[in-house]
Amino acid sequence: MTSTDLILQGDRLALARLLTQIENESPEGLETLGALYPHTGQAHIVGITGAPGTGKSTLVNQLALHLRKRPMPGEDTPPRVGIVAVDPSSPFSGGAILGDRIRMRDLAGDPGVFIRSMASRGALGGLARATSAVGLALDAAGFQIILIETVGAGQAEVDIASNAHTTVVIEVPSMGDAIQANKAGILEIADILVVNKADMPGADTTVATLRLSLEMSGSANAHAAVEGRVGGGRKSSWETPVLETVAIKGEGMPDLADRIFAHREYLTTSGGWEIREGKRVRSQMESLLRDELVKRFLKGRPDGRFEDIVQMVVDRERSPAQAIEELLKGENL
């Protein structure tokens, strides 16, 4: 049996092998992924992001435990849950990070759960791409909900969020002015805001501040606004809810799961699902095209020529734009 068939049947070993191939960007991995692609598109990809230490791993663990006990709307059995932990800051270690060890203890032995951690070894764009490839593999293997945990580290979180259908942003209580409900970026990417560690002082104030900021920013996030316009006539906008959770005790998980399902329902009924898919595929393809064009272009240069020009720019002999213009002169691209 081919590895494609094995994965479609849910063979964990074959899946694990494919994920390693994806991380190593091996040609076999790409080939298998290509064969699996027509079988993808079923999974609900949920990004969970937030600053270091806000409790993402704990929450993902508790959410997965909860999801495994309840059927999704319209289903009889609980969903199979895939978990991908992405840590853009740490070099690839091969070992599980702390949060994963906790998860493995709680979720170990459940055949309906698959956990994978990934760390960056190169460009962040590469990590985002590898993450979406891992998502596709889990999707093909029949995992219906894929939770992707990323540390809020700027561009990486935005890239990974743009790969998710639903983005959950985790905040923690903070006092008074310290609440930087600023975070225009965060409000924009969040479909659901969670104030975790609600057992700590200041949770209510933080929730109120976040709600206020959402109201001031028009309450609908950027995605929803776009989808509202395009999906005209149907339910036009999603109001980002702000929830409280105490992940260490599993509190707030049923509500969070409800909101995640509600967001999925909103996406499918508003036409937003297709819009996001379109955007997702387009950005993936653009990024692949960019990489491929750069690779081909550099291949056609004599060795070291590009480095020489980079050095000229470093030495302020040319601006980056001038250097690129010069490089491309006479090129047929």
Ligand X SMILES: Nc1nc2c(ncn2[C@@H]2O[C@H](COP(=O)(O)OP(=O)(O)OP(=O)(O)O)[C@@H](O)[C@H]2O)c(=O)[nH]1
Residue 111 buriedness (CB in 10 A; 0-12 / 13-18 / 19+): exposed
Exposed (0-12), middle (13-18) or buried (19+): which is 185, by Cβ within 10 Å? middle
Task: Indicate whether 57 belongs to the interface with Mg ion (CB under 5 A).
Answer: yes
Residue 147 touching ligand X (CB under 6 A): no
Q: Which does 53 bind (CB under 5 to 8 A by kind): ligand X, Mg ion, none?
A: ligand X
Residue 75 has φ and ψ, to the nearest 5°, of: -120, 160
Give the span between the Cα atoms of 246 and 198, in whole angstroms: 5
Segment interacting with ligand X, rule: CB under 6 A, options 8-16, 118-126, 222-230, 245-253? 245-253
Cβ proximity to Mg ion: between 86 and 214 the closer is 86
Our finding on whether 248 is near ligand X (CB under 6 A) is: yes
* Interface characters, 8-47, with ligand X (x: CB under 6 A): ----------------------------------------
Q: Report the residue from 29, 82, 88, 99 that binds Mg ion according to the rule CB under 5 A.
A: 99
Of positions 23, 36, 43, 56, contacts ligand X by CB under 6 A = 56
What is the Cα–Cα distance from 319 to 312, expressed in whole angstroms? 9
- In the complex, the smallest distance separating the C-beta of residue 205 from ligand X, rounded to whole angstroms, is 16
Q: Is 162 near Mg ion (CB under 5 A)?
A: no
Minimum distance of ligand X from residue 18's CB (angstroms): 25
| Strand ranges (E), the chain | 44-50, 81-91, 113-120, 145-151, 166-171, 192-195, 242-244
Q: Which helix (DSSP H) or strand (DSSP E) does residue 228 occupy?
A: helix 222-230
Query: Should residue 196 be labelled a site residue for ligand X when binding is judged by CB under 6 A?
Result: yes
The SS3 of residue 152 is coil
- Residues near ligand X, by CB under 6 A: 52-58, 99, 151, 196-197, 199-200, 246-248
